[in-house]
Chain A
Protein backbone atom coordinates (compact mmCIF):
# COMPACT_ATOMS: atom_id res chain seq x y z
CA UNK A 1 0.00 0.00 0.00
CA UNK A 2 1.19 3.46 -0.79
CA UNK A 3 0.96 6.24 1.68
CA UNK A 4 0.10 9.58 0.22
CA UNK A 5 1.68 12.62 1.79
CA UNK A 6 -0.86 15.06 3.07
CA UNK A 7 -0.42 18.61 4.31
CA UNK A 8 0.01 18.13 8.01
CA UNK A 9 -2.40 20.74 9.24
CA UNK A 10 -4.69 23.47 8.01
CA UNK A 11 -5.77 24.12 4.47
CA UNK A 12 -3.78 23.82 1.30
CA UNK A 13 -2.93 26.94 -0.69
CA UNK A 14 -5.82 26.69 -3.10
CA UNK A 15 -8.38 26.17 -0.35
CA UNK A 16 -6.98 29.07 1.69
CA UNK A 17 -7.21 31.34 -1.33
CA UNK A 18 -10.81 30.30 -1.86
CA UNK A 19 -11.74 31.06 1.72
CA UNK A 20 -10.09 34.47 1.47
CA UNK A 21 -11.93 35.25 -1.76
CA UNK A 22 -15.24 34.24 -0.23
CA UNK A 23 -14.67 36.46 2.78
CA UNK A 24 -13.83 39.41 0.53
CA UNK A 25 -16.94 38.78 -1.54
CA UNK A 26 -19.09 38.68 1.57
CA UNK A 27 -17.84 42.07 2.69
CA UNK A 28 -17.93 43.49 -0.82
CA UNK A 29 -21.54 42.53 -1.31
CA UNK A 30 -22.77 45.25 1.03
CA UNK A 31 -19.71 47.49 1.33
CA UNK A 32 -19.35 48.23 -2.39
CA UNK A 33 -22.91 49.39 -3.12
CA UNK A 34 -22.81 51.44 0.08
CA UNK A 35 -19.53 53.11 -0.88
CA UNK A 36 -20.80 53.91 -4.38
CA UNK A 37 -24.03 55.29 -2.92
CA UNK A 38 -22.13 57.56 -0.51
CA UNK A 39 -19.86 58.68 -3.34
CA UNK A 40 -22.84 59.50 -5.56
CA UNK A 41 -24.53 61.52 -2.81
CA UNK A 42 -21.33 63.37 -2.11
CA UNK A 43 -20.93 64.13 -5.83
CA UNK A 44 -24.54 65.31 -5.99
CA UNK A 45 -23.84 67.66 -3.10
CA UNK A 46 -20.61 68.94 -4.71
CA UNK A 47 -22.29 69.55 -8.08
CA UNK A 48 -24.92 71.70 -6.36
CA UNK A 49 -22.23 73.73 -4.61
CA UNK A 50 -19.79 74.03 -7.53
CA UNK A 51 -22.48 75.21 -9.93
CA UNK A 52 -24.47 77.27 -7.49
CA UNK A 53 -27.63 75.41 -8.39
CA UNK A 54 -30.66 76.93 -6.61
CA UNK A 55 -32.52 74.56 -4.33
CA UNK A 56 -35.80 74.86 -6.25
CA UNK A 57 -34.01 73.18 -9.20
CA UNK A 58 -31.73 70.68 -7.46
CA UNK A 59 -31.63 70.72 -3.65
CA UNK A 60 -28.56 69.45 -1.84
CA UNK A 61 -28.92 66.03 -0.14
CA UNK A 62 -28.77 67.65 3.27
CA UNK A 63 -31.69 69.91 2.39
CA UNK A 64 -33.71 66.89 1.23
CA UNK A 65 -33.00 65.17 4.53
CA UNK A 66 -33.92 68.31 6.45
CA UNK A 67 -37.20 68.56 4.50
CA UNK A 68 -37.98 64.95 5.23
CA UNK A 69 -37.60 65.78 8.92
CA UNK A 70 -39.49 69.10 8.79
CA UNK A 71 -42.36 67.75 6.68
CA UNK A 72 -42.39 64.37 8.36
CA UNK A 73 -46.01 64.64 9.49
CA UNK A 74 -47.26 65.45 6.03
CA UNK A 75 -45.00 63.04 4.16
CA UNK A 76 -45.48 60.06 6.41
CA UNK A 77 -49.23 60.41 6.58
CA UNK A 78 -49.18 60.44 2.78
CA UNK A 79 -46.87 57.45 2.75
CA UNK A 80 -49.35 55.65 4.95
CA UNK A 81 -52.12 56.30 2.43
CA UNK A 82 -49.94 54.97 -0.40
CA UNK A 83 -48.87 51.96 1.66
CA UNK A 84 -52.47 51.12 2.44
CA UNK A 85 -53.32 51.02 -1.27
CA UNK A 86 -50.13 49.09 -2.02
CA UNK A 87 -50.67 46.32 0.52
CA UNK A 88 -54.40 46.04 -0.04
CA UNK A 89 -53.87 45.72 -3.77
CA UNK A 90 -51.04 43.22 -3.25
CA UNK A 91 -53.30 41.15 -1.00
CA UNK A 92 -56.06 41.28 -3.60
CA UNK A 93 -53.54 40.41 -6.32
CA UNK A 94 -52.49 37.34 -4.33
CA UNK A 95 -56.10 36.27 -3.78
CA UNK A 96 -57.12 37.01 -7.36
CA UNK A 97 -53.96 35.67 -8.99
CA UNK A 98 -53.81 32.44 -7.01
CA UNK A 99 -57.58 31.98 -7.22
CA UNK A 100 -57.60 32.36 -10.99
CA UNK A 101 -54.52 30.15 -11.34
CA UNK A 102 -56.20 27.40 -9.32
CA UNK A 103 -59.25 27.75 -11.53
CA UNK A 104 -57.06 27.51 -14.62
CA UNK A 105 -55.36 24.43 -13.25
CA UNK A 106 -58.69 22.65 -12.91
CA UNK A 107 -59.23 22.62 -16.63
CA UNK A 108 -57.17 23.35 -19.72
CA UNK A 109 -60.35 24.69 -21.31
CA UNK A 110 -60.84 27.33 -18.65
CA UNK A 111 -57.22 28.38 -19.01
CA UNK A 112 -57.42 28.56 -22.79
CA UNK A 113 -60.62 30.61 -22.59
CA UNK A 114 -59.62 33.16 -19.99
CA UNK A 115 -55.86 33.56 -20.10
CA UNK A 116 -56.00 35.90 -23.13
CA UNK A 117 -58.20 38.29 -21.11
CA UNK A 118 -55.59 38.40 -18.38
CA UNK A 119 -52.99 39.27 -20.99
CA UNK A 120 -55.18 42.04 -22.42
CA UNK A 121 -55.50 43.53 -18.93
CA UNK A 122 -51.77 43.26 -18.43
CA UNK A 123 -50.60 44.82 -21.69
CA UNK A 124 -53.00 47.76 -21.75
CA UNK A 125 -51.25 50.70 -20.03
CA UNK A 126 -52.99 51.42 -16.74
CA UNK A 127 -52.79 55.17 -17.38
CA UNK A 128 -54.94 54.66 -20.44
CA UNK A 129 -57.56 52.62 -18.58
CA UNK A 130 -57.79 54.95 -15.60
CA UNK A 131 -60.13 57.56 -17.11
CA UNK A 132 -62.64 54.75 -17.62
CA UNK A 133 -62.25 53.53 -14.06
CA UNK A 134 -62.65 57.12 -12.97
CA UNK A 135 -66.03 57.24 -14.69
CA UNK A 136 -67.31 53.86 -13.51
CA UNK A 137 -66.06 53.75 -9.93
CA UNK A 138 -67.10 56.38 -7.42
CA UNK A 139 -65.21 55.34 -4.33
CA UNK A 140 -61.74 56.87 -4.29
CA UNK A 141 -60.02 53.97 -2.52
CA UNK A 142 -61.73 51.40 -4.72
CA UNK A 143 -60.56 53.32 -7.79
CA UNK A 144 -56.91 53.25 -6.72
CA UNK A 145 -57.13 49.66 -5.55
CA UNK A 146 -58.53 48.46 -8.84
CA UNK A 147 -55.77 50.26 -10.69
CA UNK A 148 -52.94 48.85 -8.58
CA UNK A 149 -54.53 45.41 -8.65
CA UNK A 150 -54.63 45.29 -12.45
CA UNK A 151 -50.91 46.03 -12.54
CA UNK A 152 -49.93 43.61 -9.77
CA UNK A 153 -52.04 40.50 -10.27
CA UNK A 154 -50.64 39.29 -13.59
CA UNK A 155 -47.18 38.07 -12.48
CA UNK A 156 -48.82 36.14 -9.66
CA UNK A 157 -51.39 34.63 -11.98
CA UNK A 158 -48.95 33.66 -14.69
CA UNK A 159 -46.28 32.31 -12.35
CA UNK A 160 -48.70 30.35 -10.19
CA UNK A 161 -50.38 28.88 -13.27
CA UNK A 162 -46.98 27.76 -14.52
CA UNK A 163 -46.16 26.28 -11.11
CA UNK A 164 -49.44 24.41 -10.76
CA UNK A 165 -48.80 22.82 -14.15
CA UNK A 166 -45.14 21.96 -13.50
CA UNK A 167 -45.79 18.93 -11.33
CA UNK A 168 -43.73 15.76 -11.74
CA UNK A 169 -45.81 13.33 -13.87
CA UNK A 170 -44.82 10.40 -11.66
CA UNK A 171 -46.04 12.21 -8.57
CA UNK A 172 -49.35 12.81 -10.32
CA UNK A 173 -49.53 9.08 -11.08
CA UNK A 174 -48.69 8.33 -7.47
CA UNK A 175 -51.60 10.49 -6.29
CA UNK A 176 -53.87 8.85 -8.83
CA UNK A 177 -52.85 5.37 -7.65
CA UNK A 178 -53.70 6.32 -4.10
CA UNK A 179 -57.11 7.54 -5.13
CA UNK A 180 -56.47 11.20 -4.31
CA UNK A 181 -59.38 13.57 -4.91
CA UNK A 182 -58.90 16.74 -6.96
CA UNK A 183 -58.84 18.75 -3.78
CA UNK A 184 -56.18 16.50 -2.22
CA UNK A 185 -54.12 16.69 -5.38
CA UNK A 186 -54.31 20.47 -5.23
CA UNK A 187 -53.71 20.73 -1.51
CA UNK A 188 -50.86 18.24 -1.10
CA UNK A 189 -49.22 18.32 -4.51
CA UNK A 190 -49.96 21.18 -6.86
CA UNK A 191 -49.99 24.08 -4.39
CA UNK A 192 -46.72 23.16 -2.65
CA UNK A 193 -45.09 22.49 -6.03
CA UNK A 194 -46.23 25.91 -7.24
CA UNK A 195 -44.90 27.68 -4.14
CA UNK A 196 -41.47 28.67 -5.57
CA UNK A 197 -43.13 29.99 -8.72
CA UNK A 198 -45.76 31.87 -6.73
CA UNK A 199 -43.11 33.47 -4.52
CA UNK A 200 -41.18 34.56 -7.61
CA UNK A 201 -44.36 36.20 -8.90
CA UNK A 202 -45.02 37.75 -5.50
CA UNK A 203 -41.62 39.47 -5.50
CA UNK A 204 -42.42 41.09 -8.84
CA UNK A 205 -45.99 41.91 -7.81
CA UNK A 206 -44.79 43.59 -4.61
CA UNK A 207 -42.87 46.19 -6.59
CA UNK A 208 -45.61 46.49 -9.17
CA UNK A 209 -48.34 47.12 -6.61
CA UNK A 210 -46.36 50.08 -5.28
CA UNK A 211 -45.87 51.37 -8.81
CA UNK A 212 -49.55 50.75 -9.53
CA UNK A 213 -50.59 52.62 -6.40
CA UNK A 214 -48.37 55.60 -7.19
CA UNK A 215 -49.42 55.74 -10.84
CA UNK A 216 -53.07 55.52 -9.86
CA UNK A 217 -52.62 58.34 -7.36
CA UNK A 218 -50.86 60.36 -10.01
CA UNK A 219 -53.74 60.09 -12.41
CA UNK A 220 -56.30 60.60 -9.67
CA UNK A 221 -54.20 63.30 -8.05
CA UNK A 222 -54.22 65.30 -11.27
CA UNK A 223 -57.89 65.79 -10.58
CA UNK A 224 -57.16 66.68 -6.99
CA UNK A 225 -58.78 63.75 -5.23
CA UNK A 226 -55.88 61.92 -3.65
CA UNK A 227 -53.77 62.34 -0.56
CA UNK A 228 -51.02 59.77 -1.19
CA UNK A 229 -47.34 60.42 -1.81
CA UNK A 230 -47.91 60.90 -5.53
CA UNK A 231 -50.20 63.85 -4.90
CA UNK A 232 -47.52 65.34 -2.60
CA UNK A 233 -45.13 65.05 -5.55
CA UNK A 234 -47.54 66.74 -7.95
CA UNK A 235 -48.27 69.45 -5.42
CA UNK A 236 -44.59 70.03 -4.76
CA UNK A 237 -43.98 70.15 -8.51
CA UNK A 238 -46.57 72.90 -8.95
CA UNK A 239 -45.01 74.92 -6.15
CA UNK A 240 -41.45 74.35 -7.31
CA UNK A 241 -40.81 72.78 -3.90
CA UNK A 242 -38.01 70.56 -5.16
CA UNK A 243 -36.75 69.49 -1.70
CA UNK A 244 -40.15 68.06 -0.77
CA UNK A 245 -40.43 66.46 -4.19
CA UNK A 246 -37.11 64.73 -3.67
CA UNK A 247 -38.02 63.72 -0.13
CA UNK A 248 -41.21 62.06 -1.37
CA UNK A 249 -39.29 60.36 -4.14
CA UNK A 250 -36.72 58.96 -1.70
CA UNK A 251 -39.50 57.68 0.53
CA UNK A 252 -41.16 55.87 -2.36
CA UNK A 253 -38.00 54.17 -3.51
CA UNK A 254 -37.03 53.22 0.04
CA UNK A 255 -40.48 51.70 0.45
CA UNK A 256 -40.01 49.74 -2.79
CA UNK A 257 -36.66 48.41 -1.62
CA UNK A 258 -38.12 47.47 1.74
CA UNK A 259 -41.02 45.61 0.13
CA UNK A 260 -38.61 43.70 -2.08
CA UNK A 261 -36.35 42.79 0.84
CA UNK A 262 -39.22 41.64 3.02
CA UNK A 263 -40.69 39.50 0.24
CA UNK A 264 -37.25 38.02 -0.52
CA UNK A 265 -36.87 37.13 3.12
CA UNK A 266 -40.32 35.53 3.24
CA UNK A 267 -39.49 33.55 0.11
CA UNK A 268 -36.18 32.42 1.56
CA UNK A 269 -37.76 31.35 4.85
CA UNK A 270 -40.41 29.28 3.11
CA UNK A 271 -38.10 27.60 0.59
CA UNK A 272 -34.85 27.25 2.49
CA UNK A 273 -35.41 23.65 3.50
CA UNK A 274 -36.07 22.15 0.13
CA UNK A 275 -35.87 24.34 -2.94
CA UNK A 276 -32.68 24.62 -4.98
CA UNK A 277 -32.98 28.41 -5.27
CA UNK A 278 -32.72 28.89 -1.52
CA UNK A 279 -30.03 26.34 -0.75
CA UNK A 280 -26.50 27.48 -0.28
CA UNK A 281 -24.09 25.44 -2.32
CA UNK A 282 -21.42 23.57 -0.44
CA UNK A 283 -18.70 22.21 -2.66
Chain B
Protein backbone atom coordinates (compact mmCIF):
# COMPACT_ATOMS: atom_id res chain seq x y z
CA UNK B 1 0.00 0.00 0.00
CA UNK B 2 1.24 3.46 -0.79
CA UNK B 3 1.67 5.79 2.17
CA UNK B 4 -1.30 8.03 2.56
CA UNK B 5 -0.95 11.61 1.40
CA UNK B 6 0.00 14.49 3.62
CA UNK B 7 -3.03 14.85 5.86
CA UNK B 8 -4.05 12.41 8.50
CA UNK B 9 -0.61 11.40 9.69
CA UNK B 10 0.71 12.71 13.01
CA UNK B 11 3.26 15.48 13.05
CA UNK B 12 6.76 14.27 13.80
CA UNK B 13 8.59 17.54 14.04
CA UNK B 14 7.63 21.18 13.77
CA UNK B 15 10.18 23.90 13.15
CA UNK B 16 8.83 27.17 14.44
CA UNK B 17 10.45 30.47 13.61
CA UNK B 18 13.80 28.76 13.38
CA UNK B 19 16.76 31.00 12.60
CA UNK B 20 20.47 30.36 12.38
CA UNK B 21 23.09 33.07 12.26
CA UNK B 22 26.80 32.34 12.04
CA UNK B 23 29.46 34.34 13.85
CA UNK B 24 30.70 35.75 10.53
CA UNK B 25 27.42 37.64 10.17
CA UNK B 26 25.78 35.31 7.66
CA UNK B 27 22.14 34.57 8.36
CA UNK B 28 21.76 31.03 7.07
CA UNK B 29 18.11 30.66 8.08
CA UNK B 30 15.44 33.14 9.11
CA UNK B 31 11.98 32.40 10.51
CA UNK B 32 11.63 28.93 9.10
CA UNK B 33 8.28 27.29 9.79
CA UNK B 34 8.06 23.72 8.66
CA UNK B 35 6.01 20.75 9.72
CA UNK B 36 7.30 17.26 9.05
CA UNK B 37 4.79 14.46 9.35
CA UNK B 38 5.57 10.90 10.14
CA UNK B 39 6.16 8.92 6.98
CA UNK B 40 6.79 11.99 4.85
CA UNK B 41 9.22 11.99 2.00
CA UNK B 42 9.96 15.67 2.13
CA UNK B 43 12.40 17.38 -0.18
CA UNK B 44 14.08 20.67 0.60
CA UNK B 45 14.65 22.23 -2.80
CA UNK B 46 16.49 25.46 -3.43
CA UNK B 47 19.49 27.26 -4.87
CA UNK B 48 22.85 26.95 -3.16
CA UNK B 49 23.11 29.11 -0.08
CA UNK B 50 19.42 28.84 0.82
CA UNK B 51 20.25 27.07 4.07
CA UNK B 52 18.79 23.67 3.21
CA UNK B 53 21.85 21.82 4.49
CA UNK B 54 21.87 24.02 7.59
CA UNK B 55 18.24 23.09 8.24
CA UNK B 56 19.14 19.41 7.91
CA UNK B 57 22.01 19.76 10.36
CA UNK B 58 19.69 21.44 12.84
CA UNK B 59 17.21 18.59 12.59
CA UNK B 60 20.05 16.08 13.03
CA UNK B 61 21.22 17.90 16.14
CA UNK B 62 24.63 18.56 14.62
CA UNK B 63 24.15 22.26 15.22
CA UNK B 64 21.82 24.47 17.25
CA UNK B 65 19.44 27.18 16.10
CA UNK B 66 19.99 30.77 17.23
CA UNK B 67 16.27 31.53 17.41
CA UNK B 68 12.97 29.66 17.31
CA UNK B 69 12.37 26.08 18.32
CA UNK B 70 12.44 22.52 17.03
CA UNK B 71 9.37 20.86 18.46
CA UNK B 72 9.63 17.08 18.35
CA UNK B 73 6.08 15.84 18.76
CA UNK B 74 7.19 12.24 18.79
CA UNK B 75 10.09 11.29 21.01
CA UNK B 76 12.89 10.37 18.63
CA UNK B 77 16.15 9.14 20.09
CA UNK B 78 19.21 10.64 18.36
CA UNK B 79 20.18 7.06 17.59
CA UNK B 80 17.02 6.73 15.51
CA UNK B 81 18.14 9.42 13.10
CA UNK B 82 20.09 8.29 10.06
CA UNK B 83 22.18 10.75 8.10
CA UNK B 84 23.52 10.41 4.58
CA UNK B 85 26.12 12.96 3.53
CA UNK B 86 26.78 14.37 0.10
CA UNK B 87 29.96 12.31 -0.09
CA UNK B 88 29.85 8.63 0.84
CA UNK B 89 31.94 9.48 3.95
CA UNK B 90 33.15 5.92 4.51
CA UNK B 91 36.10 4.73 6.54
CA UNK B 92 38.66 4.07 3.77
CA UNK B 93 40.56 1.47 5.81
CA UNK B 94 37.49 -0.60 6.66
CA UNK B 95 35.70 -2.97 4.30
CA UNK B 96 32.04 -2.60 3.39
CA UNK B 97 30.88 -4.85 6.22
CA UNK B 98 32.82 -2.95 8.86
CA UNK B 99 31.60 0.38 7.51
CA UNK B 100 27.98 -0.68 7.77
CA UNK B 101 28.58 -2.34 11.14
CA UNK B 102 30.03 0.88 12.56
CA UNK B 103 26.85 2.54 13.93
CA UNK B 104 25.98 -0.71 15.70
CA UNK B 105 29.55 -1.20 16.85
CA UNK B 106 29.48 2.26 18.44
CA UNK B 107 26.46 1.09 20.41
CA UNK B 108 28.38 -1.92 21.62
CA UNK B 109 26.92 -4.56 19.30
CA UNK B 110 29.44 -7.30 18.59
CA UNK B 111 30.31 -8.41 15.06
CA UNK B 112 28.51 -11.70 15.45
CA UNK B 113 25.38 -10.06 16.86
CA UNK B 114 25.40 -7.38 14.16
CA UNK B 115 25.99 -9.71 11.26
CA UNK B 116 22.35 -10.58 10.43
CA UNK B 117 21.32 -6.92 10.43
CA UNK B 118 24.36 -5.82 8.42
CA UNK B 119 23.96 -8.55 5.82
CA UNK B 120 20.22 -7.88 5.56
CA UNK B 121 20.71 -4.20 4.88
CA UNK B 122 23.55 -4.93 2.43
CA UNK B 123 21.17 -7.20 0.59
CA UNK B 124 18.62 -4.39 0.45
CA UNK B 125 21.13 -2.20 -1.37
CA UNK B 126 22.35 -5.13 -3.51
CA UNK B 127 25.87 -5.18 -2.07
CA UNK B 128 25.81 -8.49 -0.18
CA UNK B 129 28.58 -9.83 -2.42
CA UNK B 130 30.85 -6.88 -1.65
CA UNK B 131 31.04 -7.18 2.14
CA UNK B 132 34.79 -7.80 2.13
CA UNK B 133 35.70 -5.06 -0.35
CA UNK B 134 37.27 -1.76 0.70
CA UNK B 135 35.61 1.48 -0.47
CA UNK B 136 38.29 2.48 -2.96
CA UNK B 137 37.51 -0.60 -5.03
CA UNK B 138 33.87 0.44 -5.41
CA UNK B 139 32.25 2.78 -7.93
CA UNK B 140 30.73 6.09 -6.83
CA UNK B 141 27.20 4.69 -6.86
CA UNK B 142 28.19 1.63 -4.87
CA UNK B 143 29.93 3.77 -2.26
CA UNK B 144 26.77 5.81 -1.90
CA UNK B 145 24.78 2.63 -1.42
CA UNK B 146 27.14 1.58 1.36
CA UNK B 147 26.55 4.97 2.92
CA UNK B 148 22.79 4.47 2.72
CA UNK B 149 23.09 0.97 4.13
CA UNK B 150 25.08 2.36 7.04
CA UNK B 151 22.35 4.91 7.72
CA UNK B 152 19.66 2.23 7.57
CA UNK B 153 21.35 -0.46 9.66
CA UNK B 154 20.07 1.06 12.90
CA UNK B 155 16.51 1.01 11.48
CA UNK B 156 16.08 4.77 11.85
CA UNK B 157 12.72 6.51 12.14
CA UNK B 158 14.08 9.54 10.38
CA UNK B 159 16.49 9.52 7.46
CA UNK B 160 18.18 12.81 6.64
CA UNK B 161 19.88 13.02 3.26
CA UNK B 162 22.07 15.91 2.20
CA UNK B 163 22.24 15.89 -1.63
CA UNK B 164 23.30 12.26 -1.54
CA UNK B 165 23.21 11.68 -5.29
CA UNK B 166 24.43 15.05 -6.52
CA UNK B 167 27.87 13.76 -7.49
CA UNK B 168 26.61 10.72 -9.39
CA UNK B 169 25.93 10.28 -13.08
CA UNK B 170 22.31 10.33 -14.20
CA UNK B 171 21.91 6.62 -14.87
CA UNK B 172 23.23 5.73 -11.43
CA UNK B 173 21.14 8.46 -9.84
CA UNK B 174 17.91 7.17 -11.39
CA UNK B 175 18.71 3.67 -10.21
CA UNK B 176 19.41 4.86 -6.67
CA UNK B 177 16.25 6.99 -6.70
CA UNK B 178 14.21 3.88 -7.45
CA UNK B 179 16.01 1.85 -4.82
CA UNK B 180 15.54 4.56 -2.22
CA UNK B 181 11.83 4.80 -2.92
CA UNK B 182 11.29 1.08 -2.53
CA UNK B 183 13.28 1.10 0.71
CA UNK B 184 11.17 3.97 1.98
CA UNK B 185 7.94 2.22 1.10
CA UNK B 186 9.01 -0.98 2.82
CA UNK B 187 10.55 0.48 5.94
CA UNK B 188 8.19 3.42 6.49
CA UNK B 189 10.74 5.86 7.85
CA UNK B 190 10.47 9.61 7.40
CA UNK B 191 12.83 11.17 4.89
CA UNK B 192 14.05 14.72 4.67
CA UNK B 193 15.91 14.98 1.41
CA UNK B 194 18.00 18.00 0.45
CA UNK B 195 18.48 18.50 -3.28
CA UNK B 196 18.94 21.17 -5.91
CA UNK B 197 17.30 19.08 -8.58
CA UNK B 198 13.66 19.80 -9.41
CA UNK B 199 13.28 16.48 -11.19
CA UNK B 200 14.73 14.44 -8.36
CA UNK B 201 12.61 16.16 -5.73
CA UNK B 202 9.37 15.68 -7.66
CA UNK B 203 10.14 12.06 -8.49
CA UNK B 204 10.88 11.10 -4.91
CA UNK B 205 8.78 13.18 -2.57
CA UNK B 206 5.22 13.62 -1.51
CA UNK B 207 6.10 17.17 -0.42
CA UNK B 208 8.56 19.57 -1.97
CA UNK B 209 9.47 22.56 0.16
CA UNK B 210 11.11 25.30 -1.90
CA UNK B 211 13.57 27.56 -0.14
CA UNK B 212 14.94 30.97 -1.09
CA UNK B 213 18.39 32.29 -0.25
CA UNK B 214 19.88 35.30 1.54
CA UNK B 215 18.54 34.86 4.09
CA UNK B 216 17.55 31.20 3.84
CA UNK B 217 13.81 30.82 4.29
CA UNK B 218 10.85 28.71 3.20
CA UNK B 219 9.44 30.19 0.01
CA UNK B 220 6.69 27.80 -0.92
CA UNK B 221 5.47 24.25 -0.78
CA UNK B 222 4.22 21.86 -3.38
CA UNK B 223 2.27 18.68 -2.71
CA UNK B 224 3.21 15.92 -5.11
CA UNK B 225 0.12 13.77 -4.95
CA UNK B 226 1.10 11.19 -7.52
CA UNK B 227 0.62 7.69 -6.21
CA UNK B 228 3.41 5.39 -5.09
CA UNK B 229 5.02 3.14 -6.12
CA UNK B 230 6.58 5.40 -8.71
CA UNK B 231 8.66 3.71 -11.34
CA UNK B 232 10.33 4.46 -14.66
CA UNK B 233 6.84 4.87 -16.15
CA UNK B 234 6.17 7.77 -13.82
CA UNK B 235 9.45 9.38 -14.84
CA UNK B 236 8.23 9.72 -18.42
CA UNK B 237 4.57 10.48 -17.71
CA UNK B 238 2.84 13.75 -18.57
CA UNK B 239 1.76 14.11 -14.95
CA UNK B 240 5.37 14.05 -13.82
CA UNK B 241 6.31 16.66 -16.42
CA UNK B 242 3.47 18.92 -15.28
CA UNK B 243 4.53 18.58 -11.64
CA UNK B 244 8.13 19.34 -12.53
CA UNK B 245 6.98 22.42 -14.37
CA UNK B 246 4.98 23.52 -11.34
CA UNK B 247 7.97 22.99 -9.04
CA UNK B 248 10.21 24.85 -11.48
CA UNK B 249 7.85 27.81 -11.40
CA UNK B 250 7.94 27.93 -7.60
CA UNK B 251 11.73 27.62 -7.70
CA UNK B 252 11.96 30.42 -10.28
CA UNK B 253 9.90 32.56 -7.90
CA UNK B 254 12.31 31.71 -5.10
CA UNK B 255 15.28 32.65 -7.30
CA UNK B 256 13.66 36.00 -8.13
CA UNK B 257 12.96 36.61 -4.46
CA UNK B 258 16.63 35.88 -3.80
CA UNK B 259 17.78 38.34 -6.43
CA UNK B 260 15.32 40.92 -5.04
CA UNK B 261 16.50 40.54 -1.47
CA UNK B 262 20.07 40.90 -2.67
CA UNK B 263 19.26 44.28 -4.20
CA UNK B 264 17.38 45.37 -1.09
CA UNK B 265 20.06 44.17 1.26
CA UNK B 266 23.05 45.88 -0.29
Contacts and interface: CB of A to CB of B under 8 A. Distances in A.
A168 B79 CA distance: 21
B87 interface: yes
Given A184-B106, A188-B105, A273-B134, A174 B89 contact: yes
Interface stretch (A122-130, A175-183, A199-207, A245-253): A175-183
Contact of B89 (A170, A188, A192): A170
Contact of B92 (A174, A175, A177, A274): A274
Interface string A148-185: 00000000000000000000101101111111100010
Interface string B80-107: 0101010101011110000000110111
Contacts of A168: 89
B134 A173 contact: no
A188 B102 CA distance: 9
A259 interface: no
A183 to B, nearest CB: 11
Contacts of B135: 274
B106 A175 contact: yes
A118 interface: no
A178 B61 CA distance: 11
B93 A179 contact: no
B92 A275 contact: yes
Given A184-B106, A188-B102, A177 B81 contact: yes
A195 B93 CA distance: 10
A189 interface: yes
A182 to B, nearest CB: 12
A180 B89 contact: no
Contacts of A173: 62, 83, 85
A184 B103 CA distance: 11
Nearest to B85: A170
B226 to A, nearest CB: 32
A279 B136 contact: yes
A136 B106 CA distance: 47
Contact of B106 (A171, A178, A192, A279): A178
B10 interface: no
A271 to B, nearest CB: 8
A168 B87 CA distance: 11
A7 to B, nearest CB: 29
Given A178-B103, A179-B106, A184-B106, 18 more contacts: A170-B87, A170-B89, A171-B89, A171-B91, A173-B62, A173-B85, A174-B89, A175-B106, A176-B62, A177-B83, A178-B154, A188-B105, A188-B106, A189-B91, A195-B93, A274-B134, A275-B92, A279-B136
8 contacts: A170-B85, A178-B79, A178-B102, A179-B107, A188-B106, A192-B93, A274-B93, A274-B136
List 10 tightest A-B contacts by C-beta distance, closest first.
Answer: A170-B89, A178-B106, A274-B93, A178-B103, A170-B85, A274-B92, A180-B106, A192-B93, A274-B134, A177-B83
Interface of A: 168, 170-171, 173-180, 184, 188-189, 192, 195, 273-275, 279
